[in-house]
């Protein structure tokens, strides 16, 4: 492609345009070779089933950490805020008329709150509760 003949490129160096072009070409090539699932997600049905089977353990873990007095108020406040945002019908992006987009922001906020809760809890306490749940407690 001849960069001199592109419209709207006056004042932009050919090197800059080449870098942008190479970056876009690499991103396109990369997108064609990977799955369409976000990072951490899997198209493997067994992996999805395994995750679904662990949901009761996750609920136990979150409940135990929330009830633990050694966990500070900040992670608990973030968890409550995320759950409230998910449950309360008032949203930043309305659910209707674009239902999937409206649900996406709810799921995103809840996911970030759940991850932040675990990250902000002291690792020693999280590990202690995970071991107790693994032992059947």
The pLDDT of residue 131: 93
27 confidence band (pLDDT: 50, 70, 90): low
Q: Residues 35-45: pLDDT tens digits?
A: 555 555 556 77
Distance between CA atoms of residues 118 and 126, nearest Å? 7
Question: What are the boundaries of each domain within the chain?
Answer: 3-33, 45-134
Cα angle 108, 84, 68 (rounded to 5 degrees) comes to: 100
The pLDDT of residue 30: 58
Task: Return mean pLDDT, the chain.
Answer: 78
């Amino acid at each position: 492609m001849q960069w001199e003949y592109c419209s709207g490129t006056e004042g932009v160096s050919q090197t800059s345009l080449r870098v942008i072009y190479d970056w876009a070409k690499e991103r396109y090539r990369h997108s064609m070779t990977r799955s369409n699932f976000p990072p951490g997600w899997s198209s493997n049905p067994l992996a999805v089933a395994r995750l679904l089977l662990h949901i009761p353990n996750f609920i136990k873990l979150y409940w135990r950490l929330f009830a633990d007095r050694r966990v500070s108020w900040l992670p608990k406040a973030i968890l409550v805020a995320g759950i409230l945002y998910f449950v309360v019908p008032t949203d930043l992006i309305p659910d209707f008329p674009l239902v999937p987009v409206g649900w996406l922001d709810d799921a995103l906020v809840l996911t970030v709150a759940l991850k932040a809760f675990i990250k902000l809890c002291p690792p020693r306490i999280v590990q202690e509760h995970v071991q107790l749940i693994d032992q059947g407690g």
